[in-house]
Amino acid sequence: MDRLSTEVAGVRFRNPFLLASGIWGETGAALARAHRDGAGGVVTKSIGSATREGYPNPTVEQLGSWGLLNAMGLPNPGMEHYAAEIALARKEGATVVGSIFGGDAKEFATLARAMEQTGVVALELNLSCPHAKGYGSEIGRDPAIVTEVVRAVKQAVRLPVWAKLTPNTHDIGALAEAAEQAGADAISAINTVRGLAIDPETMRPVLAHGFGGLSGPAIKPIGLACVWQIYDRVKVPIVGIGGISTPEDAFEYLIAGASAVEVGTALSAGGDALFGTLSAGLERLLEHHGFSTLAEAVGASHRVR
């Protein structure tokens, strides 16, 4: 078996580098392109029940070398229109994970059923977007609501369910435990970290929405700490996300406890070649440390404490 291939809750990916939700994921062509560029799998943009335009511009601000601040407002074509995009990506051979967002357990369950029909290999529940009123972290930072949503989705579908959690809470471990107890098959961590940029000239927030979500290099230590903590609290596999741009970043996430990782912001700079560079570099790191499979590396830093 290839050293880089990995399994998350019964689903095998050819390598651990997945395209993160919301990055290039709005069209099937873009998902297919990430697959051609070497992604191990691709996560769709978070899809809701109806077409949503999102917030007015500006929705994204580059914060120097720290990363990006965004408040897109979950723009998406709606489930009914999006199925064709997934079909296109699957036709090109991509292993597709379907991301969904809803305002309550019932809406999540309905969307999950529709997403299951598209042939995705797993569902990722967006319980963590930090800037959409009534959605994401507004509901996902309450363990009781996480339990309710995950339970409803698990009753509605047979697919593996990944709960994507927010770092904007005092105890992400409690959210992970709630998700696991409700039947989640994996935990994805993290979504963006709530942040703000103010223009000193106009004295107004830079993004039209005000608060946004920070992603990129600045959040890597936060994501890593969350994965470390979650690994200590649950048994289900973890998908690590946040600030990954080098093979070393990914290796740190794996030895902290992740079985796969998602890459987002780095792709805006790294472009097409990044997935190949990450895989080649990780292969070398695994070999250097004497791991003959990726699974042996998962959580390894906990065992050398």
The residues annotated as belonging to the active site are 129
Is the Cβ–Cβ distance between 67 and 217 less than 8 Å? yes
Tell me which amino acid residue 241 is.
Answer: I
* Pick 191 or 279: Cβ nearer ligand FMN: 191
Which 46-105 residues touch ligand FMN, going by CB under 6 A?
46, 60, 68, 70, 72, 74, 99
Surface-to-core class of residue 158, CB atoms within 10 Å of its CB (0-12 exposed, 13-18 middle, 19+ buried): exposed
Q: How far apart are CA 278 and CA 209, in angstroms?
A: 34
Minimum distance, C-beta of residue 305 to ligand FMN, in the bound complex (Å): 26
- Residue 191 within binding range of ligand FMN, rule CB under 6 A: yes
Given a contact cutoff of 8 angstroms between Cβ atoms, the answer to whether 219 and 262 are in contact is: no
Our measurement of the distance from residue 34's CA atom to the centroid of its chain's CA atoms, rounded to an integer in Å, reads 15
Contacts of 269 (CB under 8 A, 6+ apart): 245
Site for ligand FMN in 97-156 (CB under 6 A): 99, 126, 129
Considering only residues 21, 166, 246, 259, which one is a binding residue for ligand FMN as defined by CB under 6 A? 21
* Site track 220-259 with ligand FMN (rule: CB under 6 A), x = hit: ---------------------xxxx---------------
Residue placing its CB nearer to ligand FMN in the complex, 109 or 125 = 125
Residue from 105, 115, 263, 297 touching ligand FMN (CB under 6 A): that is: 263
5-13, 15-23, 170-178, 252-260 -> range binding ligand FMN (CB under 6 A): 15-23
Distance (Å, rounded) from C-alpha 201 to C-alpha 218?
25
Q: What is the DSSP letter of 92?
A: T
Options 15, 147, 168, 192; binder of ligand FMN; rule CB under 6 A:
192
Task: Report how far residue 253's alpha carbon sits from residue 11's, in angstroms, rounded to the nearest whole number.
Answer: 19
Give the shortest CB-39-to-ligand FMN separation in angstroms.
13
Q: Please, which residue, 216 or 237, has the CB nearer to ligand FMN?
A: 216
Residue with the CB atom nearest ligand FMN in the bound state:
22
- Exposure of 72 by Cβ count < 10 A (0-12 exposed, 13-18 middle, 19+ buried)? buried
Specify whether the CB–CB gap between 267 and 24 falls below 8 A: yes
State whether residue 88 is helix, strand or coil. Answer: helix
d(CA 64, CA 216): 11
Work out which of 35, 45, 131, 141 binds ligand FMN, going by CB under 6 A. 45
Binding site for ligand FMN (CB under 6 A): 20-23, 45-46, 60, 68, 70, 72, 74, 99, 126, 129, 164, 191-192, 215-216, 219, 241-244, 263-266
